[in-house]
Amino acid sequence: MDLENWGMTMGQFNSFVEAMKNSEQWERVKNTLGPYKQKRLVSGYEVNKHWVKLWTAGSGSSVALRMNPTKPLRAQIMISHAWGEDILETQEALNKKITDKSTVIWFCIFANYQSGDGAGPSVDDQVKMEPFKKVIAMPCEKMLAVHTTTADLYERLWCAHEIDEALSHSVKVAGAFSGAYSLEDVVDQNNGKIKKIDTANAECGNSRDKDNLRNQILAKDGGFDRLDRRIEELRLDLDKDNNAVSEAFSNLESRLSNFGKDEEIEVPDDDPHLVKLLDFARSFAPTIPDDDDNSLQYIVDKFNDYDGEVIKGNLKKALILVEPRLSKIPETLEKTAQGIMNVRESHVIFKGFQDLHISSMSCFKNGEPRRLHTFGGTEYVEDGEKIEAASDPMEKLRNLL
C-alpha cells in the first residue's frame, strides 16, 4: 500500500485522543513521573506504549489503517512534532490550525505500525521505506510544525530533517502553536529577538539515523545555518497568535466594564489556563447560531466539552467574550457559569461518544460506592477489574468514523 495513504482525518485524531482519555490507564499514566518526565502529562512516547501498541497488537495495521481499513486516506498535511510533547497540547495546536476536521493528516505515531510483534512491518523497515519523504514528495498541501511548552521541536534531529525536506520540495511549512506556548518561549528577553536556533546540536536516539540525517542536511547548500535561518522565520508565525491573544484580552477588558459596579475584574495575561480558554472560545465563536433560542445552549454545550482546566472566574470571562450581553445581566451569567461547572464536575461524564460506549459514572459493587467505566464494550471498576469481556475498541472507533 502507498505510504502516503496512511492518513487519518483530524476528527479521527480527536476521537482517538478522547478514547485514550476515557480509558482505564489515562490518569495513571498522566500522573506517573520519572527522570525524563517532570510534569503530569501524557507524552507521545506514552501514547505509543500504552495505547497504540496495545490497541493495534497482532493486527499488522497502524491506527490510521485500522480506522480506515477499506478506504485508506491520502495525506493532505504532514505533521512534524516531538514525541516528548504533551499529546493534549499537540491536539490543541493542531485543532487551532485545522478547522475542517475532515482534513487528512499524516501523524507518525498513528500512521506507522508500532507494535513490532511480527504481525506487520517493523519500525526499522518502515523507516527504510522513507514514508515522510514520500508524503512530502507527492506533494502534500503543507506541513505543520507543532510547538508546545513540553518539548523543543528543534532539539530533535528528525524534526529538523523533516522541515529541511519539506523546504527542499517547496512544501509550505507553518507553525502550529498550543495555547500555553507564547512568545516568551522563543524570544530572548535580553534583546527582544527570536532565540537562536541550533539544529546542528539536535539529538537523535539512534546513532546510525543521526549520522544519516546530518549528512542529508549538510549535503544541501547552507547546511544547518540555512535551516536555522528558515526555522527562525517560521517561529515568527507566533506573532500572529500572540497578537490575537492580546486583542482578545483588550476586547474582554472593555466588555467587562459593566460586569459589576462594585466588583473589579482582573484579566491577567500570564494565566495560561485563561489564555487557553479564551483561545478555545474564539475558535468556536464564528459558529454560534444567530437565533437567541439556540445560541446560549450552543455556547454552554461547547464549554461543557472543553477539556482544559477551568475555574468559574475564568469561565465567566470566556462567556462574556462570546456573548457580550451576559455582562449586562450578572445573575444570568452566574447561573450559566455555575451550571457549566456543575456539569463538568458531575459524576456522569459522557462527551458525545455514545457510539463508542465511553463513559464514567457512579455505581455500587459489593455494597461500596465505586466508579464504573466503559470503553468499547469493556466495563470495569476503578481497580481495573473487568465486568464484561472486552470487545475490540478499534472496531468501535472504525464504525463511528
Question: What angle is formed at CA 50 by the lines to CA 45 and CA 54, rounded to 5 degrees?
Answer: 125
Partners of 172 in the beta sheet?
Answer: 142
* pTM > 0.75: yes or no: no
How many residues does this entry show for the chain?
401
* For residue 48, pLDDT beyond 90: yes
Q: Which three cell numbers stand for residue 187?
A: 524570544
Q: In which band, very low, low, confident or very high, does the pLDDT at 191 lie, cut at 50, 70 and 90?
A: low
Measured distance CA(267)–CA(258) in Å, rounded = 14
Q: Extract the runs of DSSP E, i.e. beta strands, from 178-316.
A: none
Residue 234 contacts residue 175 (beta carbons within 8 Å): yes
Q: What is the mean pLDDT of residues 57-85?
A: 93
* For residue 401, pLDDT beyond 70: no
Q: To the nearest 10°, the Cα dihedral for 101, 105, 109, 112?
A: 130
Q: In which band, very low, low, confident or very high, does the pLDDT at 335 lie, cut at 50, 70 and 90?
A: confident
pLDDT in tens, 298-321: 888 888 888 888 888 888 888 888
Question: How far does Cα 47 stand from its chain's mean position?
Answer: 12
Q: What is the mean pLDDT of residues 35-52?
A: 88
Q: At what angle do helices 312-322 and 238-255 cross, to 10 degrees?
A: 90
Partners of 7 in the beta sheet?
Answer: 73
Q: Which three cell numbers stand for residue 335?
A: 447561573
Cis amide prior to 272 (ω within 30 degrees): no
